[in-house]
């Protein structure tokens, strides 16, 4: 019987057809947490209300469910490959990318001045989640292009903008980030790629860059590489790094493509996950030097590159949510189908679907609560981004910028770390079948691992949270956020609802733990840095846990209202249950994290180095 089940399962179920976009949850967040009605009052966003959000998300869901998702499994089996002269992507990717670009999806949240649709990030982030759930390896190409667009919008000259932005925004051309070198990982001070000034104002670029996502592919006519390099005579360290545009093909004065530039893919990496995404090693200057164009001012390249990095870090956090959602959907489907053992409460006369077993329910609820909590946190952060960049009131912009900047390392760090737990649970729900590649569960686990590494590891996000976001202002931004959490606690208690009050109790304990850690970080970063940074990642996890739990608390308050109940009572009941589960089983971990950070720092560094 087990072998018959395995045969039927593997031959009649297709892992590539399983994704259904969670539109209800996305629109709930956009309406009630991100407050799209307020965003639509910002000049330029007047047409971007809930009706527009729903229409855009529904169309986006169709493309991702019907066209892009079916390629996910194929990409894992038949990844991109280097054919000596270039890179051939997975069969179907090129056609799917053409549909993506022609549909205007690359330009969704970019300025109308360059052919984009100018929609808020609040809508764009939800579309980004769908794309990454459908096919994370495919989605990396548009993600890197978004970063290149942001950098050129901020620091590019009028000439560079005129030459490159419309083609990038349309998706006709794609973009890359070129930071890492063989000897320089996260330490960009060690960058050696050099830029030699030329009489015509251009530069010749020489060097090697590694880990370049979609550094070479066959889906677009041109690839616009943004490259960190040192101009001859520049200061040592990060202060001497400049940023350059180095296109795959040079662009003529009339905008058409000219000769091939001196930048070539010498190999692509063989990876444990996201196999269909070509991760290239690029060589600049083997044949006289790649032609590069300075972005902004010399020696300010790292500053400009961080614009791309910040956009990418938020987007990678969304990837974590996306892969968790995909894994959750797959696990639920399997748990409904897989018949194994009689339920312990005797609710069925014989063996039944494993979703009846309490521990399977625990795993599924953990997956759901983590995913919904992080999605709510990311949606709220996106709304803050929109207000910080577009609101007419300077003080409102300032407040939202502080909120968004604090949230970015949490969205990136917490959401990606949680995706590892969720996708691991997805394999576990499948039992032995989860270890069989044909079920698809293992692919999500393998794909998720990179998310805690690229665009800044979890430790780098935690360093940012400690140094720039907490110690720098003595914890004032963090405590202001804690004050908002306290307000939600009060509203939950005042509701008189048992689940709401239970969530309020957990929120209160987590908030108190958070404040104590903030005081510890703010008070000891300079005097006792080892003690603080020993607990930097646990601090990030505590902060992310609290922020996600806070948003689920806000969700619960909405779900209790008569208007919400009348709209969709079943959905709202599930919202309440999910928030209660998160509070009881995930938010409840916060006080323990506080103890490990504040009281456990010494044991992290106590071991003699020679004893390892």
Of 3.60.15.10, 3.30.800.10, 2.40.110.20, 2.60.260.20, the CATH number of 175-299 is 2.40.110.20
CA angle 426, 432, 433 (to 5 degrees): 65
Phi then psi for residue 235, to 5 deg, are: -60, 155
Q: Residue 73 has which token pair?
A: 């499994």
Specify whether the CB–CB gap between 234 and 298 falls below 8 A: yes
Profile the chain (612 residues) by mean pLDDT over runs of 10 residues.
Answer: 51 63 98 98 96 98 98 96 92 98 98 97 98 98 95 96 98 96 80 95 97 98 97 92 98 96 96 98 93 97 86 95 98 94 86 94 98 98 97 97 97 98 98 94 98 96 97 98 98 98 98 98 97 98 98 98 96 98 98 98 94 96
CB 557 within 8 A of CB 488: yes
Options 1.10.540.10, 3.30.2230.10, 3.40.50.300, 3.30.70.141; CATH for 17-159 is: 1.10.540.10
Q: Checking phi first, is residue 261 left (phi over 0); if not, alpha (psi -120 to 50) or beta?
A: beta
Contacts of 411 (CB under 8 A, 6+ apart): 313, 314, 317, 318, 374, 377, 378, 381, 544
pTM of the model: 0.95
Active site residue 298: no
Q: How many CB atoms lie within 10 A of CB 420?
A: 18
Measured CA to CA, the distance from residue 315 to residue 455 in angstroms comes to 10
For the stretch 59-64, contacts whose Cβ atoms lie closer than 8 Å and that sit 24 or more positions apart, written own/partner, are 59/103, 60/21, 60/105, 60/126, 60/127, 60/130, 60/131, 61/21, 61/23, 61/130, 63/99, 63/100, 63/103, 63/105, 64/19, 64/21, 64/130, 64/131, 64/133, 64/134, 64/135
For residue 105, what are the contacts with CB-CB under 8 A and spacing of at least 6?
60, 63, 127, 131, 142, 171
Quick one: how many helices (H) and strands (E) in the chain? 23, 12
- 292: DSSP letter: E
Q: Could you give the 3-state DSSP secondary structure of residue 259?
A: strand
Neighbouring CB atoms inside 10 A of 186's CB total: 13
- The predicted structure's pLDDT at residue 14: 54
How far is 432 from 579, CA to CA, in rounded Å? 31
Report DSSP letters for 361-394, one per residue. Answer: HHHHHHHHHHHHHHHHHHHHHHHHHHHHHH-S-H
31, 150, 298, 455: which one is catalytic?
A: 455
Measured distance CA(224)–CA(163) in Å, rounded: 11
CB-based contacts of 573: which residues, under 8 Å, 6+ apart? 559
Which residues make beta-bridge pairs with 194?
206, 230
Q: What is the 3-state secondary structure (H, E, C) of 395-432?
A: HHHHHHHHHHHHHHHHHHHHHHHHHHHHHHHHHHHHHH
Q: How far apart are CA 295 and CA 309, in angstroms?
A: 16
Q: Which residue has the tokens 């510890």?
A: 520
| CA-based nearest residue to 37, from 51, 26, 25, 58 | 51
What one-character-per-residue DSSP string does 529-592 give?
HHHHHHTHHHHHHHHHHHHHHHHHHHHHHHHTSHHHHHH-HHHHHHHHHHHHHHHHHTGGGHHH
- Largest distance between two CA atoms of the chain: 85
With H, G, I as helix, E, B as strand and everything else as coil, classify residue 281.
Answer: strand
Strands 203-213 and 279-284: antiparallel
Per the document, the length of the chain is 612
DSSP class of 17: G
Kind of pairing between the strands at 173-178 and 222-231: parallel
pLDDT of residue 6: 52
Residue 89 DSSP class: P
Q: What angle do CA 44, 47, 52 make, to 5 degrees?
A: 135
Q: What are phi and psi of 227, to 5 degrees?
A: -125, 130
């Amino acid at each position: 019987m087990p072998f018959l089940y395995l045969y039927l399962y593997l031959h009649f179920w297709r892992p590539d057809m399983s994704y259904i976009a969670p539109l209800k949850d996305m629109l709930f967040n956009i309406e009630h947490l991100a407050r799209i009605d307020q965003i639509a009052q910002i000049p330029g966003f007047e047409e971007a209300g809930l009706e527009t959000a729903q229409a855009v998300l529904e169309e986006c869901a169709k493309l991702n469910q019907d066209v892009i998702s079916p390629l996910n499994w194929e990409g894992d089996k038949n990844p991109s490959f280097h054919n000596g002269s270039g890179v051939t992507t997975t069969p179907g990717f090129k056609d799917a990318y053409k549909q993506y670009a022609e549909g205007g999806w690359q330009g969704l949240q970019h300025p109308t001045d360059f052919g984009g649709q100018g929609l808020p990030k609040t809508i764009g982030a939800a579309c980004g989640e769908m794309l990454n759930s459908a096919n994370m390896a495919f989605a990396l190409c548009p993600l890197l292009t978004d970063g290149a667009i942001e950098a050129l919008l901020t620091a590019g000259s009028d000439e560079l903008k005129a030459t490159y932005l419309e083609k990038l925004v349309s998706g006709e051309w794609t973009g890359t980030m070129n930071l890492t070198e063989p000897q320089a990982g996260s330490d960009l001070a060690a960058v050696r790629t050099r830029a030699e000034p030329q009489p015509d104002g251009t530069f010749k670029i020489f060097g090697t860059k590694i880990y370049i996502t979609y550094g070479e592919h066959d889906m677009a006519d041109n690839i616009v590489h943004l490259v960190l390099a040192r101009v001859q005579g520049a200061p040592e360290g990060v202060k001497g790094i400049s940023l350059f545009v180095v296109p795959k093909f040079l662009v003529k004065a009339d905008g058409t493509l000219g000769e091939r530039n001196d930048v070539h893919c010498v190999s692509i990496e063989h990876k444990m996950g996201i196999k269909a995404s070509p991760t290239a090693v690029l060589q600049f200057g083997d044949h006289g030097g790649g032609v590069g164009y300075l972005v902004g001012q010399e020696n300010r390249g790292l500053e400009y590159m961080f614009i791309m990095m910040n956009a990418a870090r938020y987007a990678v956090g969304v990837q974590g949510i996306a892969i968790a959602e995909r894994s959750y959907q797959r696990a639920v489907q399997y748990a409904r189908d897989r018949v194994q053992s009689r339920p312990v409460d005797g609710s069925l006369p014989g063996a039944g679907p494993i979703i009846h077993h309490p521990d399977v329910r625990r795993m599924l609820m953990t997956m759901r609560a983590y995913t919904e909590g992080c999605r709510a946190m990311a949606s709220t952060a996106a709304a803050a981004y929109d207000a910080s960049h577009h609101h007419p009131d300077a003080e409102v912009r300032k407040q939202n910028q502080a909120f968004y900047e604090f949230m970015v390392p949490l969205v990136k760090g917490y959401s990606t770390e949680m995706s590892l737990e969720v996708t691991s649970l997805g394999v576990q729900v499948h039992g032995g079948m989860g270890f069989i590649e044909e079920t698809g569960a293992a692919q999500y686990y393998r794909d998720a691992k990179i998310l805690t590494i690229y665009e800044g590891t979890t430790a780098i996000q935690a360093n940012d949270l400690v140094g720039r976001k907490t110690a720098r202002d003595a914890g004032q931004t963090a405590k202001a956020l804690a004050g908002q959490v306290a307000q939600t606690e009060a509203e939950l208690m005042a509701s008189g609802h048992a689940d709401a009050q239970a969530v309020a109790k957990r929120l209160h304990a987590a908030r108190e733990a958070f404040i104590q850690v903030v005081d510890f970080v703010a008070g000891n970063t300079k005097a006792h840095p080892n003690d603080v940074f020993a607990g930097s990642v646990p601090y990030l996890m505590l902060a992310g846990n609290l922020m996600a739990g806070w948003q689920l608390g806000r969700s619960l308050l909405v779900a209790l209202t008569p208007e919400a109940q009348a709209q969709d009572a079943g959905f709202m009941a599930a919202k309440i249950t999910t928030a209660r589960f998160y509070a009881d089983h995930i938010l409840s971990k916060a006080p323990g994290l506080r103890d490990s950070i504040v009281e456990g720092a010494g044991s992290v560094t106590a071991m003699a180095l020679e004893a390892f």
